[in-house]
Chain A
């Protein structure tokens, strides 16, 4: 007979949550700030496919080593969120920065939004 002790193992199944995000618009770019506590650069994945930007962050497991859980109010979670991008975004120039558990995405607006005049050739 064996008893199971709760050691707060980091290999336990983790939930995936939808993180909170703020979205702001500047004249020349958009900016998205996403709360991803406990996520490090190694665990962060930002991809753009077609017009969907996906942010995936996995928790780094910051539990103090060798210690036993005495009181647990939160479970470290993984995060995932998708954003749909409009056509006005220059996808090649998207930047991402992770600091203090907050991911800041900078999405520059595409320059070709200005109407282009098409010259008409005289076919005669």
Chain B
């Protein structure tokens, strides 16, 4: 596994927009192709509300069976592949879309319950909704007074 060591670790700040993102591109070619655009692939958006977090990824034409979603504590890992849906007996006139294998690990704002994860793939967009782990929720501590 190769980590992008150029990325500096920053302190997790729940009130701000700071989030540490680990990115592993499975194939050097894919990484090179996409980073030509100066971006990590695939780009993700993270949403949150109360005790839920949602991650959306634009993945058109992905083989649904190949999508793998893993949750471990506070890290969500999404991986999958898209292989060419180009018919074999055809002559290729233009090729822009390409094959890809990807894997991205995203650090979430809180620990989530893997058993309550929901994932939907519609219109080429994968949306993963996760609920905060009950034991991770902040607890109010009663102040005892004498």
Contact = CB atoms under 8 A, between A and B. Distances in A.
Interface in A2-59: 8, 20-26, 30-31, 33, 35-40
Nearest to B19: A71
B61 to A, nearest CB: 4
A70 B59 CA distance: 20
A121 interface: no
Given A33-B85, A39-B123, A21 B90 contact: no
Interface string B93-127: 11111000000000001000000000001111101
A100 B89 contact: no
A88 interface: no
Interface residues of A, number: 33
Contacts of B129: 64
Contacts of A66: 49
A62 interface: yes
Contact of B61 (A24, A30, A31, A35): A35
A78 to B, nearest CB: 13
A62 B49 contact: no
B144 interface: no
B93 A21 contact: no
B93 A25 contact: yes
B139 interface: no
B105 to A, nearest CB: 13
B47 A63 contact: yes
Given A25-B91, A38-B125, A101-B123, A73 B17 contact: no
A102 interface: yes
Given A21-B96, A62-B125, A67 B48 contact: yes
Contacts of A37: 58-60, 123-125
Given A21-B96, A23-B93, A40 B40 contact: no
Contacts of B45: 63, 69, 71-74
B47 A67 contact: yes
B39 to A, nearest CB: 7
Given A31-B87, A69-B45, A100 B93 contact: no
Contact of A74 (B58, B89, B95): B58
7 smallest CB-CB distances across A and B, nearest first, come from A101-B124, A101-B60, A73-B43, A67-B47, A37-B58, A37-B124, A24-B90
